[in-house]
Each structure stands twice: as structure tokens, then as C-alpha cells.
Structure 1
Amino acid sequence: MIRLGRIDHVGLRVADLDEAAARWCIQLGLMERARDEQRAFLACDDEPYCLELAAGEEPGHDHTAFELHTTCPPDDAQAHLDGLGVPHEEREGSIWLADPDGRAIQLLPNRPPEAEFGRWPQHARRSATVHLGGPRRLGHVNCLTGDIRANASFYLDVLGMRLSDWLGTAGVWFHIDSEHHVMALVDVGYAHFHHLAFDVVDIGKMRDLLDHLARHGRWVSWGPARHGIAGNIATYVRITEEPCHVELYCDMERLADDHVPRTYPDDRYSSNTWGPLPPRSYFRFDAAAIESESESWETRGRPLPPEEVEA
């Protein structure tokens, strides 16, 4: 069997490592922990890192990393994958594989705290490096897909996540601990990494971060919204350089050990109890969608043109 302990980090490819590392730190309040010629490692608080930036020719999602649970050594995880016939390889001390959409997954061995205080709540750990301003931690990721059933089976059966809820047949959420989800999929007919999500303490902190991001030319692609599914208050900010969104969220639902997955109707209330669904640009990453969103063309009466598909 396999069991995951938590999400560890997200890896993004960037066009200019120096520019990207400075931008994520200045605009999102992250801290650079380490750097080599090809990668920069950024953190929210006192974790080793939660965002890995790697120099690459095509900016975008590179991989998502999960740490194995303390009860699941790497040999057990590899035996589980071998038993299912899932291709994987060992490198950099980790297990690497890919989901049905081709997104890379890194499985890290469990790394227990070096000292007892590492098990204490975040606010109780003394620090000489943590600074004021950023989010508390990386919480989850969300991906668009064209084959939601195959990907759902992968995250449930191959990675051992547990099912949280369905949104009709168009969306599915998975958890590995009591927090409602660590991974989600939305079926839009094609695959793309949609967002990485940072936990903030409350809506006041979210407001401060959004004010700060606005001063740096960022805009809200959707929100603030109150999700019916998962219950969290969430705001999504467009990141044009590494085409994805960043979600800032708080008040996520916690699930009981005997949680029974639910199926919500695919309606506005399930997505946002406070009001509107996201603009259609929210699910696209082409130039027309970005312009439409940044200029609020949809709400100003100009429809979003169809996405051009290369022949």
C-alpha cells in the first residue's frame, strides 16, 4: 500500500530565474531559502521550501511533490507502484511518476523533524529568519483535465488519496488528512495546471495580500468567493509569467475520519455561495483570455472570443 503525508512543494519552470525568484518573494511574500545555478527554493514560513523555481525554456508547471507518510517507506511505495504496473523511476532520492495527463509527480521520503520543537504549532516555533507578510503554507493544487475519470482513478488508486466530493461529473476533490482537499480536478476538455493555493490566516490577511498584489499590477481572476464545496473563502490571482493562478484561501472545511464523499449539483451555489461563477477566461491561458480578464471585457459586455486552436 501507499500513503501520502502531505503536499511538499510545487515546481514551476521559469524563463528568468533571477527575475522569477525576486518576483515571487516580493509580490507573494515568500522567502528564498537556497539557490543553485538552475533552481531557487522559496518558502512561506520555516519549512525547507514550498515552491521550486527551475530555469526552463517553456515556463509553466514542472511537477508537484508530496511527502510520504511516516508509515510508508519508499520501498513500500515502489512495491505498490510495481504491483499496479505504474511506470516510475528513482532519482534525487525520490520516486518520480506521471499522472494520465502527463503531469510529473515527485514522492519524497518522510522527513521527521530534527528536533522536538519541529512538531510544535507553527506560531510556537522560535525563528530568526521568518519574516512578516507572506501566507502561512502551501495547501493544495488544482488541475484542468480532459479525462477526469482516468485522473481520479490515478489519485485515488495509485497515490492513495481519499475522495472528498464530486461537483456533478465535472469536478472532483481529494484529501490526505482532515483538510478538505490537497488536490482537485476540473474537466474542461483539456489538460493544464490551473493553480497552487496558499493558506492565509483570515480574510483580513487576504485583503492585505490582494492590496499588495494590486500595487504590483496583478488582478483578481475570480473572487473573493465562498465555495459551497470545501467552504473556503478563496480569491484567485492571475500569474501570466508561469501560466497559472495563485489562490489565497482561508476557512477550509475539515473532514471527519468517517467522511462519506458527497456529490454536489453543478450549479452556481456549489461553486460560490456569495455570487457569480468565474469568468470564462478563468479556465483559459491564451492571450485573448488574459486581455479579456485584465480589462474585464466580459462584465463590460464584450464576449470572450473562442480560443484559437492550432491546426
Structure 2
Amino acid sequence: MPQHNPPLLNVSKIGYVGFETPDVDRMVEHYTKVLDFVLVERGANQAFLTTNFDHHAVVIERAATSRARSYVGYELREDLDFAEETLRTAGYTVDRRHDIAPSTPDVVVVAEPGSGIPIHLYDSQSGTGVSGYTPVRPTKLGHVAAFTPDLNLLQGFYQDLLGFRWSDTVGDFFVFLRCNADHHAANFLASTKREGMHHVAFEARDLNHLQTQLDHLAAHQVRLDWGPGRHGPGHNIFTYHRDPDGNTIELFTQLDLMISEDNGYFEPRPWHEDFPQVPKTWEVDLATINSWGPVEQAQLDH
């Protein structure tokens, strides 16, 4: 799907995702001990965790019931005053918040169409993150996937409002959108049966790193739901498991990169189907979902 209109704003990266849970301690223990996240700050009802130099990539908050993707934070290239004025002029309801996190004292909040979840737009994260080599910890939050009852509406919101670019579509129901060189930072599945988050994905450096992560999961009695395999769109090697609240978590590596938007194709890889590999609509078949082998039925339900 090409860009219909010049975007109002330009997101530069996905920054963080929120999880709600009735058991903060259990979730913090899982993300720190099993996935090796660093706990940066902790209060009675909220915990900030990171994988890199940003203050946080995951926020875990106390709530009566579990909910993943309770909000998503994106870093903007634009000045926040400009962003607020632009969104209001375009007819969006905007909330300017100064209490969301210690690392983001100024945030523009706008509701995502369809879901109504808050989208946080900020200019940078300050505060203490982490750096250096670690054998288990993911390199970063890679992307968040969710269901939507109106795919065209949501795709238009991300492309025309936030400046995402179209990377791929599977059939007419599964779209992949990028905001930088990574093949996708957000992907959405059309569904009238399901709602909420599909999965949250964290990046591994390479296959050796991913193997170490999976061995670490096994040592903590966490079993895979699906994978390893290789997706068609994005061509990432993937695995999926569940966190203690039942949220689907992907660990991945080798995601396609579009180094130059001017060239308009993804960096060549030996396993690509097309040369050059450009954004396209993929057939709905088993090889598209997993070119290596079996497909979980749940991945086809939408």
C-alpha cells in the first residue's frame, strides 16, 4: 500500500510498550531472570525495565486483570509543540502529559483508532539505561503486533499521521509497517473475532545469541509455542513463547533492513524470494508464514 498523503509527523523508532498485570512481582521476575532485562526503577505499582541505553523498553503496571500493549511509546523527529499543534489541527484529541515516566517528562498522547489505546509520542528518553555485552539480554524492543477490526483505518493512521512506510502485506489481512530501516516496527491483523495484542517482539543479535536465549528459557522451564522458523515477510528467524501472564513474546533475528528509502528495496539476503526484494503483497500460504516448516493454526486464525 503506497503512501496516500505526506505524513503529518515522522516516528523514528518504537520505544516502549506497556503491560498491565495483577502480579507485578511475577512479571518483573520473569523479565529480569528469564530474559535478562534490567530493572531501572520500581515503585509499588509500576516497574521500568530496559535492554539498552534507553531508560525503559517495557513498563509493567499493576491492574485488576492482565493486558498487554496497554500503550505504546514512539520517538518522534519533530518538536513536541509542533506535534501537538499538528494533531489538533488535523482533528485529533491530544493530551499533553508530564507524569508518564521519569525519562519522558513531556509526552503527546493520542488515541489509536479502533483500539483506543494511548499512543505516546516523545522526543527522547533520558535517564539511566544499560550498555555493554550480555549473553542473554535482547538488544531492543523490535515491534508490536495487534489485531484490529478496521485495517485500512489503522494503516492510514500510522502512515498518514505518524509517517510509517508500508513494507509488506499478507493477503488482505496482515500488514507490516516500518518507521526506520527495520522491516517492521508495527504490524496489524484484521480480525472481527480477536482483539488486543498479537505479540511483542525482542531482537537477538544473531543466531548464536538467539540459541543462548532459548537455552536460557529452557533452563527456566519456559517452552516454545512455535519455532524456530523463518517468516516470509521480513525474513526474520523467529521463536514464540508465553510470559507468566500468557502474553505471546517473540524472540527474533535477521530481520530485513531497508538501508536506503531512495533505493526502495531491502538489503539483499541469500534467502530472499525476489531480487531485489521490495515491498509486496504475499500469497496466503504456509511458506509465507514459515518457510522452514509447520504453521501453528493460531497463526492463521484472524
TM-score by length of 2: 0.82
Match for residue 222 of structure 1 among 197, 219, 226: 226
Aligned pair in 2 of structure 1 residues 162, 58: CA closer, same or farther (>3 Å)?
A: same
Corresponding residue number in structure 2 for 1:270: 288
CA contact (8 A) 1:2 1:76 kept: no
Aligned pair in 2 of structure 1 residues 178, 193: CA closer, same or farther (>3 Å)?
A: same
Structure 2: unaligned runs, 5 residues or longer = 1-7, 99-105, 265-277
CA contact (8 A) 2:24 2:61 kept: yes
Identity of aligned residues (%): 28
2:116 is the alignment partner of 1:102? yes
2:22 is the alignment partner of 1:4? no
Structure 1: unaligned runs, 5 residues or longer = 285-311
Corresponding residue number in structure 1 for 2:274: none
2:258 is the alignment partner of 1:237? no
Q: Which digits, 9 at most, give the CA deviation of each residue in 1:262-292, with x for residues without a partner?
A: 11112112221111222327869xxxxxxxx
Q: How does 1:290-301 map to 2 (within 5 A)?
A: none
- 1:28 offset after TM fit, Å? 1.0
Higher helix proportion, which one? 1
How much is the aligned-residue C-alpha RMSD, in angstroms? 2.3
Tell me the secondary structure at the aligned position of residue 80 of structure 1.
Answer: helix
CA contact (8 A) 2:135 2:212 kept: no
The whole-number CA distance in structure 2 between the counterparts of 1:135 and 1:282 is 27
The whole-number CA distance in structure 2 between the counterparts of 1:282 and 1:215 is 30
Aligned pair in 2 of structure 1 residues 148, 257: CA closer, same or farther (>3 Å)?
A: same
Q: How does 1:1-311 map to 2 (within 5 A)?
A: 1-61=8-68, 62-69=70-77, 72-92=78-98, 93-100=106-113, 101-111=115-125, 131-189=134-192, 190-241=194-245, 243-255=246-258, 256-258=260-262, 259=264, 261-280=279-298
TM-score by length of 1: 0.80
Aligned pair in 2 of structure 1 residues 60, 5: CA closer, same or farther (>3 Å)?
A: same
Aligned pair in 2 of structure 1 residues 188, 216: CA closer, same or farther (>3 Å)?
A: farther
CA contact (8 A) 1:227 1:233 kept: yes
- 1:6 offset after TM fit, Å? 0.9
The whole-number CA distance in structure 2 between the counterparts of 1:283 and 1:53 is 28
Aligned pair in 2 of structure 1 residues 282, 39: CA closer, same or farther (>3 Å)?
A: farther
Q: Which amino acid aligns with 1:244?
A: N
**Number of aligned residue pairs:** 270
The whole-number CA distance in structure 1 between the counterparts of 2:195 and 2:300 is 14
CA contact (8 A) 2:142 2:185 kept: yes
